[in-house]
Amino acid sequence: MSNEYKRVLTVQDISCVGQCSLTVALPILSACGLETCVLPSAVLSTHTGGFSNYTFRDLTDDMEPIMNHWISEKIGFDAIYTGYLGSERQTDIVKKMFESLGKPDTGLLKAVDPAMADNGRLYPGFDSGFVDAMKRLCASADIILPNITEACLLTDTGYRTEYDEDYVKKLCEKLSALGAKKIVLTGVGYNNETTGVLVCDDGTSDYYCHRKISKGCHGTGDIFASAFIGSYVRGVSLIESAKIAADFTVGCIERTIKDKNHWYGAEFEQGLGDLIGAISEKV
């Protein structure tokens, strides 16, 4: 554990309205006590999950010049965490960032949330070519944070809503074979009342089971991943970071379902104080 001030870069889109991607990652990572730098992969008027006619400005062409400027200024990071990426080409650019944007004397943590699918389906705009590109990006990461749908797509496994521990174990083995060293698999539940997070690290695994709230909310994958990375980069262990992030996410969903008009995202803001408290207890 350390109280060293760390600098993290997060690469994902700005959905101007919708409480996902950068509009949750930036406040959550900052609340976790990290200097947070951002690289927007695209700018959308809203996210793509339930709104229609949203605008989409692809920023792929800006990413390499931004990276090159940072390299010339000798700006390096302790961690790079990617979320929703706007094009296949962006996955290759992120791989270059993994090779060239670490601080010179300390290791760079490379974390990939392959944000591209949920509930058995790819998000609008993604296809099998993007899935293949994401497989290659995951291979160069230290930690990946897929949900069950994304894990199935990354490993060419048939998606199931009901499964047993053996199915999940095989899924993790196949994800490890892709090349990522640590796997944080979300939404792993064996009954209707509970769900949880499975953390696999070099052949060992640990499971955190928690209450399942029947109605999920949009953007909770981004909330979980941001809180997890924030906690882990602060020096909290993998499994403790998974617990902190899962408890924070459950709190966000509980708050949101009380508000019948709030269908497009999760109310995370009022939980930030508890998140800060949970991390402070561990560092």
Summarize as ranges the residues that interact with ligand PXL (CB under 6 A).
13, 15, 20-21, 44, 47-49, 84, 115, 123, 219, 221-222
Q: Where are the beta strands (DSSP E) in the chain?
A: 7-17, 35-46, 56-58, 79-82, 109-112, 117-118, 121-122, 143-144, 182-185, 194-201, 204-211
**Residue 121 φ/ψ region, left for φ over 0, alpha for ψ in the -120 to 50 degree band, beta for the rest:** beta
Q: Which two tokens stand for residue 98?
A: 């993994």
Q: Which two tokens stand for residue 177?
A: 């074979």
| Dihedral sign from CA coordinates of 80, 86, 91, 95 | negative
| Dihedral sign from CA coordinates of 272, 242, 124, 133 | positive
* Nearer CB in complex with ligand PXL: 229/236: 229
* DSSP collapsed to 3 states, 199-214: EEECCEEEEEEEECCC
Contact between 177 and 196 under an 8 Å Cβ cutoff? The reply is: no
Q: How many CB atoms lie within 10 A of CB 30?
A: 15
What is residue 224's three-state secondary structure?
helix
* Nearer CB in complex with ligand PXL: 77/84: 84
Query: Exposed/middle/buried for 96, CB within 10 Å: 0-12, 13-18, 19+?
Result: middle
